[in-house]
Structure 1
């Protein structure tokens, strides 16, 4: 949906225009990313893209994750030994902000520089454990773009050499998805809720910057807050922890930074037709503190 005028027209056409005044204040700007498959050679170095090979500063190295593997020798008095294993992360996207920030009506993104997104090659992290913190990287580079070079895939990157796609960005609006409690807030009837999710809310193009996340399993902001404060959310223990109640109000500070779908154009598949979400607190986004980000993976 392009703008609030279209939202009003769609609400009116479906008999829900009485809710416009309550919906309008919570609408968020989003930057939809429309993909076109192409060859790597047709994408200029430093251009925004999803998939393919990253254009990093020549002084950089390909980003990796480091894990410790513990093994024990078979005999009875054998000692445990630890082995450090380093593995390349998969390259997800690079966003040239000088090309994209013009669509950011809320002025949340930096105006210049490049954001790089990486994630675990084996997709063995879902974001509900603080131990996953080395399974993804969001890197912000605001230096001289003439120092960029296109990196070749590392030999150990086996599962995720994604096809490159050019990005066409478009400014649109974003509405709350499933799991945000909108039904209760608006006091929809059951029929009205069905109409809202079928006719008003739309998640046709999932790839986007900012706005609301298009949830598969429910909202993720609370999980981001709890996990980044050391609580495990792979089971109810983190949510039931005594400190969770104190942390819960902070969930509202988290914002979607980038959302990537399972895309045929890239040959990307996240779990079972899932989505990859990168998150950041609004204050950290404004202050360009991308090292404080988090991520989630959801699938059906």
Structure 2
């Protein structure tokens, strides 16, 4: 964390220990397009085909099938600091509900947590054909993740001091700016979360899709009450 501390020392020399203790860790993700076969079953991935148990029922809505946005294997995050005590193993799978526009976009999205991955296999995608037969090939093609550690300095600490808030924002632009972000505080629109905790911010969908839920639900691995915000960027 030395580079983060150095930044704080240069801008807040009298508050170093206080602000370092306020840093919120996150994991930043970038992607690379690959063939589906290059990603091992149950490894973290963005779009493509999900890895699921044989009896899994694809989530459907009144508008059609949800889109598979990605899966996150906790083993891939073992080397990173996270803001919560989360499992060392298991898989999070993200499915997004496209309702065709505001205000219902994301409303019936779902997140699944699987702790036992025995027997998982690559599933066949249930296609949303509303936007053309090649929509999945053009937009939801498989990409592998590469991860790195990130940190945020909560801008909410400086709501009454514009100058310090701008410095905190610059810190976050330098240390918490990834195409995708898992856990922590989103770089933009952080005020949307209120008392919720961010699960993921997917930023490679033309716009940005943020999944969040109450902290007690996250700690209990209960994903029934997620909130999803679709943001034009």
Which TM-score bucket, shorter chain as reference? 0.7 to 0.9
- Counterpart CA distance in 2 for 1:183 and 1:18 is 19
Structure 2 counterpart of 1:169, from 129, 147, 172: 147
Change (3 A) 1:287 1:102: farther
Figure out how many residues of one structure are paired with residues of the other and give that number: 226
Change (3 A) 1:107 1:158: same
TM-score by length of 2: 0.83
Which residue number in structure 2 is paired with residue 120 of structure 1? 97
The structure with more radius of gyration? 1
Which residue number in structure 1 is paired with residue 210 of structure 2? 277
SS at match of 2:21: helix
Structure 1, unmatched stretches of 5+, are 67-85, 223-250
SS at match of 1:197: helix
- Counterpart CA distance in 1 for 2:145 and 2:58 is 22
Structure 2 counterpart of 1:255, from 169, 192, 197: 197
- Is 1:12 the equivalent of 2:12? no
SS at match of 2:221: coil
- Counterpart CA distance in 2 for 1:269 and 1:122 is 16
- Is 1:57 the equivalent of 2:28? no
- Counterpart CA distance in 2 for 1:181 and 1:107 is 20
Where in structure 2 are the equivalents of 1:41-52 lying within 5 Å?
Answer: 41-52=37-48
Where in structure 2 are the equivalents of 1:105-254 lying within 5 Å?
Answer: 105-126=82-103, 133-134=107-108, 136-154=109-127, 156=129, 158=131, 161=136, 162-177=140-155, 180=156, 182-184=158-160, 187=161, 190=163, 192-198=164-170, 200-202=171-173, 203-216=176-189, 219-222=191-194, 251=195, 254=196
- 8 A contact 1:119–1:137 mirrored in 2: yes
Which residue number in structure 2 is paired with residue 94 of structure 1? 71
Shift of 1:105: 4.0
CA-based RMSD of the aligned residues comes to 2.6
- Counterpart CA distance in 1 for 2:167 and 2:122 is 49
- 8 A contact 1:276–1:297 mirrored in 2: yes
- Counterpart CA distance in 2 for 1:33 and 1:49 is 10
Q: Identify, as 1 or 2, the structure richer in helix.
A: 1
Structure 1 counterpart of 2:21, from 18, 25, 41: 25
TM-score by length of 1: 0.66
Change (3 A) 1:19 1:126: farther
Change (3 A) 1:195 1:172: closer
Shift of 1:90: 1.0
